[in-house]
């Protein structure tokens, strides 16, 4: 039985002190562990959120550019590290999207060669890979397939986050050009199809069908309202009103007009 003395205060015994210290130590370790886990989860969520945000921004930007472009200026079916787009606006033509180092850039160049380069990603993320592939669509606009991988820029292993993005984007606007239009392969593409024909064609200046000019082999030239053929013995074929025969209208050296029966084209 403990005795109490007037004027004296009770203290902790050594055993009680050791018990209290042990309980406090266990509680402290438990609380620190919880705090560490919460901090790691928060850092992880922050890195994932940053990667997703920049991935979404890049996706929306490229989608807008492709949909409003006049031409996807790339070979079909070949993956490229640079997306090249021709734009209707002279101040934006040509527009390039490419990765350099760990950053994704957009470069807008006009016909005079002046270019403005703007980063699409910042230092919080690194670009692991970027590629674009053009797919021809015979019944509609070209489609661009994109592959992009971003990682959170950190040296802490538990904060690392990587996200990959794959999509296909189609052009939706009508083409409007401010420069020459040409196929990527000579004599390999058609303008229109048997089932999808162009209605009218409006041209200004000299038209050549076959090659560039009479001097280099043009077969037909339309200029100033006149239609001319280069090859002697050739002319214009017309069908009779009853549709039973066709005649080639030609000319002799004297200027006399002739007509020769030919097979209807």
Tens of pLDDT, residue by residue over 133-190, are 999 876 677 899 999 999 999 888 778 889 998 999 988 766 665 556 677 677 777 7
The pLDDT of residue 9 is above 80: no
* Confidence at 197, pLDDT banded by 50, 70, 90: confident
Do 119 and 126 form a contact (C-beta atoms < 8 A)?
no
- Cα(236)–Cα(220) distance, rounded to whole angstroms? 11
Average pLDDT over residues 86-95: 76
Nearest to 135 by CA among 86, 192, 75, 223: 75
Tens of pLDDT, residue by residue over 205-235, are 666 665 446 665 666 777 666 777 777 777 7
The pLDDT of residue 119 is above 80: yes
pTM: 0.56
Give me the pLDDT at residue 121, please. Answer: 94
Q: What's the whole-number average pLDDT of the chain?
A: 80
> If DSSP codes are grouped into helix, strand and coil, which group holds residue 90?
helix
Average pLDDT over residues 2-24: 66
Tens of pLDDT, residue by residue over 17-28, are 778 778 877 777
∠ CA 185-188-190, nearest 5°, is 120
Give me the pLDDT at residue 224, please. Answer: 65
- Cα(64)–Cα(77) distance, rounded to whole angstroms? 21
* CA 154 distance to own-chain centroid: 28
Q: How far is CA 26 from CA 29, 32, 100, 150, 152, in A?
A: 5, 10, 52, 41, 36
Q: Residue 166's beta-bridge partner residues?
A: 147
């Amino acid at each position: 039985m403990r005795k109490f003395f007037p004027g004296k205060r009770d203290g902790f015994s050594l055993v009680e002190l050791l018990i209290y210290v042990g309980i406090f130590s266990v509680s402290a370790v438990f609380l620190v562990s919880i705090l560490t886990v919460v901090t790691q989860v928060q850092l992880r969520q922050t890195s994932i959120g940053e990667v997703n945000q920049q991935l979404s921004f890049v996706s929306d930007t490229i989608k807008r550019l492709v949909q409003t472009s006049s031409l996807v200026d790339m070979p079909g079916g070949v993956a490229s590290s640079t997306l090249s787009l021709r734009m209707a606006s002279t101040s934006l033509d040509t527009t390039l999207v490419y990765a350099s180092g760990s950053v994704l850039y957009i470069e807008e160049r006009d016909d005079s060669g002046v270019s403005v380069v703007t980063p699409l990603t910042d230092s919080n993320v690194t670009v692991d890979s970027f590629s674009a592939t053009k797919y021809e669509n015979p019944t509609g606009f070209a489609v661009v397939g994109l592959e992009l991988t971003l990682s959170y820029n950190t040296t802490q292993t538990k904060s690392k986050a990587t996200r990959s993005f794959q999509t296909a984007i189609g052009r939706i606007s009508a083409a409007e050009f401010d420069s020459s239009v040409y196929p990527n392969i000579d004599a390999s593409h058609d303008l229109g199809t048997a089932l999808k024909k162009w209605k009218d064609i409006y041209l200004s200046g000299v038209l050549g069908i076959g090659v560039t000019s009479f001097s280099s082999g043009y077969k037909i030239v339309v200029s100033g309202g006149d239609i001319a053929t280069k090859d002697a013995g050739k002319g214009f074929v017309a069908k009779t009103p009853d549709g039973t025969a066709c005649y080639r209208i030609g000319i002799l050296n004297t200027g006399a007009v002739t007509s020769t029966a030919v097979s209807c084209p």
